[in-house]
């Protein structure tokens, strides 16, 4: 219940920030272009809270927090008093209308830059992408990549961390051609170049993992089954297990890693397990009966209620990038540019059939990711907020009627021809655009449900 409440609160907060910034962009520029703003609303539906300023603009917080809007004076939506005609949106110049429409997405871009600036100012850390294992017959093996090597660059772009490596590879989804890697072994200064040839790479894979698709497993420290936490009232506590215990064996079978212990327990719901643990340099035998639980597919598994003590990464593999005020700003602009280009490229590949449409996500996935990012800390959530803000900006700039990009196209046509687009044409185009947007939203929601 608490997890669901957290998910709802975090999701609403995230959406409220994105919508407020986006609509404020429209609002701020509209006023400076001499257009009268009638209402600034966060959310749709019945107002929960409202107030007005001296200019007559009504500010609203509404009950359906899935978007927002700025309503401007417009002769096409009703009669306008003669003294206010010049403040109507439809009377504004094409240049002003383009500025007003573009201001929302640009505000989201500015938000992304600011958020990334905060993240980079705090410092960015990660771990080096060092190869632990290469699958037989994989693309990586064919390219001569071997265990112990570290990925230095992909197509000339540095990859100091796991995240950087994943992002560079994700940009090649659905493509053909060569990918050039530079690699270095931990015990050598010799840098080698390895080439992988792609053919429609991962174009039909849902939730692709490019490193694994290369046939590479990256190094992680071995996690031994040393207990760090014991849930109160759990089978583990009832069986006498304590923090600091090292699981040595279960029913006489050696438990060398945490994963072995987890799998052994999961396979034995409601079965008594004799567990040999090491505590304070002495060994004890505990009898623990895993509780029976059901996973998302209603399969039973065993649960004892313990958490593992995570090992530290080798210092040689830790990567920390520190930035000053100016350096963080430069890095933030660069990151925003790259993520915007990546988002636009992904949309293009999806339309061309080079990227599976199953990767399209809707509100449920956004809610889950927003909530889980908070669990990793404030700056993880900020990073997710920046990514969503970029996605919102790019999507709204697409030349689709009813979106900001559609309004920009109308104004550009009028600017070029000296005549506005026929009202009936706009009505038809807007209806078509609305159908398209609703279809995409429904399809994204369908993908969310399938993931559940």
Query: Which residues are annotated as catalytic?
Result: 23
**How far is it, in rounded angstroms, from Cα 102 to Cα 98?**
6
Tokens of 170: 């994700």
Helix, strand or coil for residue 340? helix
CA geometry: angle 424, 429, 430, nearest 5 deg: 95
Written as six digits, the tokens of 187 are: 């015990």
Give dist(CA 170, CA 214) in Å, integer: 12
Task: State the residue for tokens 């992304």.
Answer: 112
C-alpha 336/C-alpha 339 separation (Å) is 5
Tokens representing residue 157 in the block: 């772009």
Distance in angstroms (rounded) separating the CA atoms of residues 97 and 240: 70
Helix (H, G, I), strand (E, B) or coil at 78: coil
**Cβ–Cβ under 8 Å, residues 61 and 77:** no
Q: What gap in Å lies between CA 120 and CA 50, rounded to an integer?
A: 37
Residue 63 three-state SS? strand
Euclidean distance between CA atoms 322 and 71, whole angstroms: 44
């Amino acid at each position: 219940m608490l997890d669901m409440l957290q998910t709802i609160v975090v999701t609403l907060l995230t959406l409220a920030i994105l919508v407020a910034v986006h609509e404020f962009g429209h609002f701020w520029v509209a006023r400076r272009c001499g257009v009268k703003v009638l209402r600034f609303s966060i959310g749709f539906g019945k107002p929960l809270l409202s107030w007005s300023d001296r200019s007559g603009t009504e500010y609203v917080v509404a009950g359906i927090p899935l978007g927002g809007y700025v309503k401007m004076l417009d002769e096409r939506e009703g009669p306008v008093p003669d003294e206010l005609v010049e403040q109507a949106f439809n009377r504004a110049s094409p240049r002003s209308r383009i500025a007003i429409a573009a201001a929302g997405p640009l505000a989201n871009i500015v938000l992304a830059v600011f958020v990334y600036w905060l993240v980079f100012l705090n410092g960015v850390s990660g771990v080096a992408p060092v190869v632990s294992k290469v699958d037989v017959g994989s693309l990586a093996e064919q390219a001569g990549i071997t265990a112990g090597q570290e990925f230095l660059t992909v197509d000339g772009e540095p990859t100091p961390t796991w995240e950087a490596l994943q992002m560079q590879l994700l940009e090649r989804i659905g493509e053909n051609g060569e990918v050039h890697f530079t690699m270095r072994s931990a015990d050598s200064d010799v840098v080698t170049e390895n080439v992988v040839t792609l053919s429609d790479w991962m174009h039909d894979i849902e939730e692709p993992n490019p490193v694994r698709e290369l046939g590479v497993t990256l190094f992680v420290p071995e996690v031994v089954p040393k207990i760090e936490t014991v849930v109160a009232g759990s089978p583990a506590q009832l069986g006498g297990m304590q923090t600091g215990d090292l699981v040595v064996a279960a029913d006489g079978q050696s438990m060398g890693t945490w994963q072995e212990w987890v799998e052994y327990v999961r396979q034995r719901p409601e079965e008594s397990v004799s567990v040999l643990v090491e505590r304070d340099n002495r060994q004890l035998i505990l009898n623990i009966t895993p509780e029976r639980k059901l996973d998302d597919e209603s399969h039973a598994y065993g649960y004892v209620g313990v958490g593992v003590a995570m090992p530290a990464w080798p210092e040689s593999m830790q990567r920390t990038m520190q930035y000053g005020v100016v350096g963080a700003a430069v890095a933030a602009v660069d990151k925003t540019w790259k993520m915007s280009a990546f988002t636009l490229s992904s949309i293009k590949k999806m339309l061309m059939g080079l990227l599976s449409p199953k990767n399209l996500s809707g509100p449920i996935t956004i809610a889950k990711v927003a909530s889980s990012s908070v669990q990793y800390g404030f700056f993880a959530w900020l990073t997710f907020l920046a990514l969503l803000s970029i996605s919102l900006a790019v999507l709204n700039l697409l030349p689709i009627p009813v979106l900001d990009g559609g309004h920009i196209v109308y104004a550009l046509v009028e600017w070029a021809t000296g005549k506005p687009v026929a009202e009936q044409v706009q009505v038809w185009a807007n209806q078509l655009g609305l159908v398209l947007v609703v279809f995409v939203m429904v399809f994204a929601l369908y993908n969310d449900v399938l993931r559940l």
